[in-house]
Amino acid sequence: MHKRLTIPPIEAGPARRDLVALLGGLSLFLSTIEYLIPKPIPFLRVGIANLPILIALDLLPSGSLFLVVLLKVVGQGLVSGTLVSYVFLFSAVGSFASALAMMGARRLFGRRMSLDGVGVLGALFSNTAQISLARLLIFGEGAWLIAPPFLSLGTVTAALLGLFAERFQAGSRWLASLRRGA
Amino acid sequence: MSGSNGRRDGLLGGAAPARALFTAGALLLPAFLFQQDPFVRGLQILLFLGLSAASGRRIRILQILLAGVGIVAFNLVIPTGRVLLTVLGLPVTEVALRSGLLKATAVIGMIAISQFSLRTDLEIPGRLGGLIGRSLFYFQLIMSRRNRIDRRNLIGSIDDLLLDLQGSVTAAGGAGDRTRRTTPAGAAALVALVAANWAVFLYTVIQPYPLWGK
């Protein structure tokens, strides 16, 4: 059997709700930072706003984690002014696909798969979902032309972010305090 | 908790409860973000900064200008559109410039709107509403303390910030202020503010780029 997570999730109640809000606020802040980075392709994101979701994988149950993703997606839409555009749709589809993949991998493999691996898997799911949507809605068959750079860059940035999250998780006093309170 | 976050004094604070201010802010956001003329956006930002000051917030002009210039410069790195001029051998292109200005004004404007429209005693109805309000307030707290994030010690400084923030909304929000009512003057000011911004936005839908030029 695979090794189960050893950290119990934060119990339901005000503490968990507050944590979801804090991670949502952090996502919104990181979305603001991300928004300032110029992009050669419109939907391309470095993905730093996913950091709170990677951190939350071991802290929150599925429902609360999806709430963080929802706060992140809406926040990104607000920050970039794309809330009622197709870019928002791409962002939502990519974010939820990525969250599902990361959550599945974490629940299935536990800590045998590092956050680098989880992040890369999430990026692959997110980018594949977005390219498929682009093929369906906008670009047609031509969408596959952007697939190689899109997937390559997504993999590299996700691996870097996963490494950062792994380090953060290992040395964070904030996470340690949350675990003590769990 | 920084002093600026919990202030309720000042012109707007005394005339309207948190929910009325939040509603006004929420209604102003689309009229601001969907505005495509950078000059009109600039004027809106001046208005929002004035409102923030009227709410008792401290306005840091130099910080705002530096952030704006940085964002525009960053966006000029990828040249798009016709070349307007060349600075130190680098082309300043029209589309990249407009994109940079829109991004810079969006970020500064959103901060200004959130500063006067979000207060610690805000209570949005419903569980999801409460969560969004709380999340937006955490965002505001992080923005106000972003200078504490040290690029040389990214993990440590973000960790310190999160330790500092955890539970601070509960500590700050506390009792709330359900008794405060919008005064007639406050209500009229908020309605006029929202209506004026939407009127300008709708005008620019019919007559795009009135100040920037097509």
Q: What is the mean pLDDT of residues B20-38?
A: 88
Structure tokens at B177: 């202020």
- More confident site: A141 or A15: A15
**A113: its two tokens:** 């798969």
pLDDT digits (tens, 9 = 90+) for A123-136: 999 999 998 988 88
Chain A interface, mutation test: which of B108, B131, B157, most A Cβ atoms within 10 Å?
B131
Residue B40: Cβ-neighbour burial (10 angstroms; 0-12, 13-18, 19+): buried
DSSP summary character for residue B59: P
* Predicted local confidence at residue A117, as pLDDT: 94
3-class secondary-structure state, position B87: strand
Q: Among A45-49, A139-143, B5-9, B168-172, name the most confident range.
A: A45-49
- Give contacts of B108 with chain A, Cβ < 8 Å: none
> Would you state the pLDDT for residue A53?
93
| pLDDT value at residue B4 | 40
Q: Which residue has the higher pLDDT, A101 or A40?
A: A101
Instruction: Report yes or no: A81 at the B interface, CB cutoff 8 Å.
Output: yes
Q: Which residue, chain included where needed, has tokens 């707007």?
A: B12
Note the ipTM here.
0.83
pTM of the model: 0.67
A78 at the B interface (CB within 8 A)?
yes
DSSP code at position A144 = G
Quick one: average pLDDT of B27-48? 90
Cα B60 to chain centroid, rounded: 13
**Which among B96, B107, B142 is the nearest to A26, CB-wise?**
B142
User: What amino acid occupies position B198?
Assistant: W
Q: Kindly report, residue by residue over A142-174, the tens digit of the pLDDT.
A: 677 778 888 898 899 999 999 999 999 888 999
Q: Is the Cα torsion angle A87, B83, B61, B74 positive or negative in sign? A: positive
Task: Name the CATH topology of A14-173.
Answer: Arp2/3 complex 21 kDa subunit ARPC3 (1.10.1760)
Residue B148 inside a domain? The answer is no
Report if residue B68 sits inside a domain: yes
Q: Which residue stretches of chain B are H helix?
A: 10-15, 18-33, 38-54, 61-75, 94-117, 127-144, 154-165, 168-173, 184-206
By C-alpha distance, which of B123, B168, B130 is closest to B2?
B168
Distance between CA atoms of residues B210 and B205, nearest Å? 10
**Distance (Å, rounded) from C-alpha B41 to C-alpha B31?**
10
Report the distance separating Cα B121 and Cα B178, nearest Å. 8
Asked whether A20 and A75 are in contact (CB, 8 A), the reply is: no
The pLDDT score that the predictor gives to residue B212 is 62
Whole-number Å distance between alpha carbons of B119 and B141: 11
Does any domain span residue B26? yes
What residue segments make up the domains of chain A, in order of their start? 14-173
Its domain, for residue B199, covers: 10-120+179-206
- B24 lies in some domain: yes
- Distance separating alpha carbons of residues A147 and A134, to the nearest angstrom: 10
Q: Return the pLDDT at A38.
A: 67
The two three-digit tokens of residue B207, written as one number = 């007559």
Percent of chain B exceeding pLDDT 70 equals 82
CB B38 within 8 A of CB B101: yes
Domain count along chain B: 1
Helix (H) or strand (E) holding B92: strand B90-93
Q: CB B135 to CB A28 under 8 A?
A: yes
pLDDT at residue A41 tops 50: yes
Residue B76 to residues A99, B39, B40, B192, Cα–Cα distance (Å): 33, 18, 21, 37
Q: Which residues of B touch A176 (CB under 8 A)?
A: none
Q: Please state at what angle helix A147-171 crosses helix A115-134, rounded to 10 degrees.
A: 150
**Which residue carries 């109640």 as its tokens?**
A13
Closest among B124, B120, B101 to B55, alpha carbons compared: B120
Contact B142 A40 (CB under 8 A): no
Q: Is position B86 within any domain? A: yes
